[in-house]
Structure 1
Amino acid sequence: MRVAIVGAGAVGRSIAGELLGNGHAVMLIEKNASKVRAKAVPGAEWVQADACEVTALEEAQLATCDVVIAATGDDKANLVVSLLAKTEFAVNRVVARVKDPRNEWLYTEAWGVDVAVSTPRVLAALVEEAVTVGDVVRLMSFRKGAANLTEITLAEDTPWVGRALRDVPLPRETVLTAILRGERVITPSPDEPLEAGDELLFVMHGDVEEELQEVLSGRPA
């Protein structure tokens, strides 16, 4: 997979290193010449350019990328890059960093954003996930709530403890992707019995989160 990362600060370089380690082709686009340091991320293609300019993105051949990550420290720049990537270059997936949480409401499909990543929101969700039992916790949203990655830890008094997954009437547009049980990661199967303390990971539509909590807790959300 070919990935373009706009912004070669600490965040952009860290993402690039992870992706290169996973075997992907990475292009780093950075406006500031002092941040263009090829030795900092060996194996990445470096382009010094203003990614808010269409001509610069054309020269960088952005249309050949499968994913664009807008990772600058400027929300305005990240939104412009996202919009250009989606509308001018038809990039399949656009991920954008939210610098200021107050601007998160802008990161929508209207601006070309498929996934918005806000560090404060992610950290808060991880804290909730670690301490909350019996409540649905949203870990991440995709396409502004069209699909969410959510988690719920089963309480001891849930009516489904000891019951097989096939017995649980999951809401529409809800897919159980994994069960975390102690140190084990379990691939869900219809015959798998549920246990108290199981962490269930779902991909689901945001509209049915409340319904899921009602089903798994056995009480109104």
Structure 2
Amino acid sequence: MIELKEVTKKFGKKKALDNVTTKINKGKITGLLGPNGSGKSTMLKLITDLNKPSSGKILIDGEEIGIKSKSRISYLPEIDHFYPWMKISDAKKFVKTFYSDWQEERYQELLQFLELEESMKIDKISKGMRAKAKLLLSFSRKADIVLLDEPLSGIDIFTREKIIETIIKDYRAGEQSIIITTHEIKEVENVMDEALFLKNGKIALQGEIENLKEEKNLSLVDLMREVYGNGKQ
């Protein structure tokens, strides 16, 4: 379980997260939802320990985040994070060097499933192919926690479908926790178990998706319209 206890993160005078206290359940696929600037990416970076809270604590299974917890997390940022000169095989060696949970058999299987080749150079392939390459490397680890920041952003519908298939392909329900931020709500609604809506750096709504939809008698997209109104954070 991931717990945030009175977590605030400031950038200058702006609060990206504002006194957030919440629990994200283990073994679920959780959608971290909200407009741009609502605090989604900031929350992921705090969980990975790439950024530090201005105040408050973050715990994973009761322990404050540190070297031990970081080794359990596979993080896919929205921006490209591999050197452009790298081939996919180079990026693989880079990840494999740092993480002992690398699964070569899983990597080879996903390489074929995603229609990628190790000889492909990062700066010579399309945005969709780069998105698949990042996913390949994230899911080739046997990580307990997988954080995906806008994995569907700006790519074609066919690539998005392939990425969603990859997310659920070997998902270990009850064991593995996946947190995904996305604007493509309709496409991921059916794979998510829970949702957490951020607004102005605070939690506006949280719960199991089916329960939330039943309580409000609304689709997930309509729930978002109700929470965010005119689209402001």
**TM-score relative to the length of structure 2:** 0.34
Identify which of structures 1 and 2 has the higher relative contact order when contacts are C-alpha pairs closer than 8 Å and 6+ apart.
2
